[in-house]
Amino acid sequence: MIKVGLTGSIGMGKSTVANMFKNYGFPVFDADKVVHDLYKKGGAAINTIKNFYPEAVINNTVNREILRSFIVENPDKIGELESLIHPLVGAERDGFLKTNKNKEILVFDVPLLFETGLNKIMDIVVVVSAPYHIQYERVLSREGMTEKIFKGLLAKQLSDDAKKSKADIVIKTDDSLKTTNNQVKEFISSLGIKVN
């Protein structure tokens, strides 16, 4: 089994690339989706967030916008929040590994791969990248996104250049989907695995 860490800053096209791996039949652990599920009604993080910042829990669901705004206003609280949520995500990741232990490639889609040190348990790290002006356009077109939130999110991540310098492979997403898909295909082939 080859563990592929897939990362990239917000708006770089990481989810698109993750879906391409899925389309080739490789399981993808989506850290963001896991967090969404933990924050949903009945999710494992509800009580944790209630204790951390009660205003963010509405109708027994974590309101991500309220929580995000709180973190942007109180950046010193990021570490505390991460220390509460990362173990829950880690438990889900362990389950994913067990379930898919017979697969050739497992992809771990983790936005904060380097920041959390998870790159150390991966066999190969793929960084998804695009020029800043494309990233800016993509992110600011998202619902509820503001320039302040965008800058706050970038501030807690390694820069794109730093990520690329630590990557084994960089996949660029500033051209067509076909071009991006060809890069994914070439990468999989480079591991000695045939895809159609």
Task: Report d(CA 122, CA 108) in Å as an integer.
Answer: 9
Task: Mark whether 47 and 139 lie in a shared domain.
Answer: no
Task: Mark whether 109 and 194 lie in a shared domain.
Answer: yes
The helix/strand count (H/E) of the chain reads as 9, 7
Task: Mark whether 118 and 91 lie in a shared domain.
Answer: no
- Total number of domains in the chain: 2
CA angle 194, 167, 136 (to 5 degrees): 105
User: Of 44, 69, 99, which closes a domain?
Assistant: 99
Query: What does the pLDDT read at residue 95?
Result: 95
Give residue 43's domain range. Answer: 33-99
Summarised one tens digit per residue, pLDDT across range 24-63 is 999 999 999 999 999 999 899 999 999 999 999 999 999 9
Task: Mark whether 143 and 189 lie in a shared domain.
Answer: yes
21 vs 156, residue with greater confidence: 21
What are phi and psi for residue 174, nearest 5 degrees? -95, 5
Q: Is the pTM of this model over 0.85?
A: yes
Summarised one tens digit per residue, pLDDT across range 90-129 is 999 999 999 999 999 999 999 989 988 999 999 999 999 9
Task: Mark whether 196 and 115 lie in a shared domain.
Answer: yes
User: Of 70, 99, 128, which closes a domain?
Assistant: 99
Summarised one tens digit per residue, pLDDT across range 57-100 is 999 999 998 998 898 889 889 889 989 998 999 999 999 999 99
User: Of 76, 99, 122, which closes a domain?
Assistant: 99
Task: Mark whether 118 and 188 lie in a shared domain.
Answer: yes
Q: Coil, strand, or helix at residue 145?
A: coil
pLDDT band at 156 (very low <50, low <70, confident <90, very high): confident
